[in-house]
Structure 1
C-alpha cells in the first residue's frame, strides 16, 4: 500500500506499476485453476461473484427461458439471490438432498427442461462440509445449453478444481477462506459464455466489473493462492482429518451421544458438523464462548439471526430436534493438536454440565 499506490487504470508510471501487479496475480490464480488469465475477474468476494453469475445469466438469457436450478442447501448468497429472481418472474427448482445431505444427479437430470438457462450448485457445503457431484453435473450439462455456475468458496482451499475439465462456466471464490484478506475474491468466467457486467461505470476488468480494483486485497489474495500448493492442500487435508478423528475419539471415550451431520465419507476436511441430542446448541455455544472457544451453529453469514439452519432443515425436515442441537466446528491454518485436545476436553465438560 505504501510502494504500489497507483491506480491500475492510470497510464502514468505509478498506474502501470499497479497494473503489472494486478496482472501478475491474475496469472497466479489462473494457473491454480489451469484456466486463461483473462477468464479471472477480480471482485469483492463470493457474494458478489454469486450475484453476478446468477442475476446476469438470468437477465441476459431470459428470452431463451426463465427456469433456474439450484439446491436446498446453498449458501445464502445463492439462496437469497434465487428468491430475488423468483420475485422477478423466474421459475426456480430447488433440488432436495437425502438424510446425509447428498444430491442425486438423477434428480437434476429429471429437473432439466428446455427452458433451463442456469444450474447453480455449490462445490462444497459451508455448514456440513459435503462435497457435491460437480464433475458428474458438468458431464450431464455438456449436451444442454444451460450455464453451469458453482460457488466454490469453501472448497477452493482444499480441493482440486479444474473448471474446463469439470464443465464449469462460472465459479465464485472468496480470499478469506484461504487465509487471504476479507472483502476480496474473484469470479472465473469461461470464454465459452458471455456475461454482462453486474456493476456499471468504468471500464476496469476488461469492462466486466466496474470500479477501481482493491489492489492491496488482490495482492494478499495472490500471495495466499501462491502458498496454497497441491502439496500444501494435501497436508492441510491430512491435518484437518486427524483433528476430526481426535475430537470424535474423545467424544466416544467420554460416551457422549452425538451424530455427524452430512456424509463423513465425502466431505471437506475442515468442517465437522455434530448433533448432540438434548443439548441446546445456543446454550452450548454460549458456554464455549465464555471459555474462549469459537464455533458456530451454521454459516457466519446467518449468524446473529434466530433463523434455523436451512441446510439442516433440508436434511431432516422442519422442527427436527437436530436443527436446534447441532454445532459446526471448523479448523484453520494455525490450529494445532494441542488446541484440538484442549477444545475436546472443554466440549465434553460443557456437554456433561448442560445435561446434568
Structure 2
C-alpha cells in the first residue's frame, strides 16, 4: 500500500462493500441518512461498477472485470482480493472505524468484516440490500459445492478470517448485524426489528412510453438451472411475447452476465445500449411494458414508475427449477404489482427441476 493510501487509512471511519447499482444506490442513501462523509470512507466494489461518486471516497478498490462462475476462473481475481484484503487490514488497524456496510455474508471480504465486528461490537454493522436475492431463501444449497469448500482456503491464503454464514447468505440474520437497509420490506428476508426502509420516490416520465413497445430486461437466471429447464423458460417467454403482438422489442442486458438462450430465441429486436442501471433510467423507459424472469429491475421499475406494466414470466416454474422450491419471491413480485405469467412444466415432465450450478 502506498504512502498516500496509508495516510488516507488514518482518516477513515467507515468501511463499505458494494456489488451492484442497487446496493450502491441504497448505500448512498444510507450514507446521507447517517451523515457519512465520503472522504472518510474506504470503499470496495465487489463487482465492476461505473459510478463516479465511488471515486470520491478516501480509498476505492475496484473490481477489475465481469465476474466468472467457474471455479478455476476465480484465480484471475486473486490480485483484486489481495489488494482489498491488504487495504482492509490496514484500515482496521490504523483507522477509527465506527461503521461498516456490507452487501452479504458470502463474499470473502464481507465475511471477514462480519468476523471483525464479532470481536469489535462497538462498530455498527449494516447490511445493504442488493436486489431480489434478499427476498428469496438463498442458502448454501443455492451455491455450487466447491464455493463453500474453497472459500475458507482462499480466506486463509489472503490473511482473512472466514465463518460459514448462519442461514440466509445476505447475512441479515447474523447476530452482529445491527440494521438492514432496503427500498422495501415486502417479503424481505431479515429480522423485522432491524429493517430500515428508505423508500424510493416515484419519478415522472420524461418521454412517452409506447404501448406497442416491450423492454426485455435480461438476467442471469440461466446460471442457476440446467439447460433444458432454462430452455423451457426461454421458449415460454418468447411464446408470451408473440401472443402479445408487440411491434417493437428492445432488450437491456444484465451488467455482469450474458443473456443466455433467450437472446437468440427472441423475435427481431434492438439493444438498449446504455450503461446506466434501470433505476437511473426509470424516467426514460421507452416501453409501456417491461418484462423479465426473476429480475429486480421489474420491481424497482414498478416502484419508480407505477404507470408501467411490469411482467415476470415463469415464476411458477423457475422457483422450483432454480431455487429448490422456494416460491417466496412471488410475494415481492405480487406485492409490488408485478404481473406473473405462469408457464407450467415442460411437456412430458413433472416434478422439480435440478439446480445445475
**Range of TM-score over shorter length:** 0.3 to 0.5
Between Structure 1 and Structure 2, the one with more helix by share is: 1
User: Normalising to structure 2: TM-score of the pair?
Assistant: 0.34
User: Normalising to structure 1: TM-score of the pair?
Assistant: 0.35
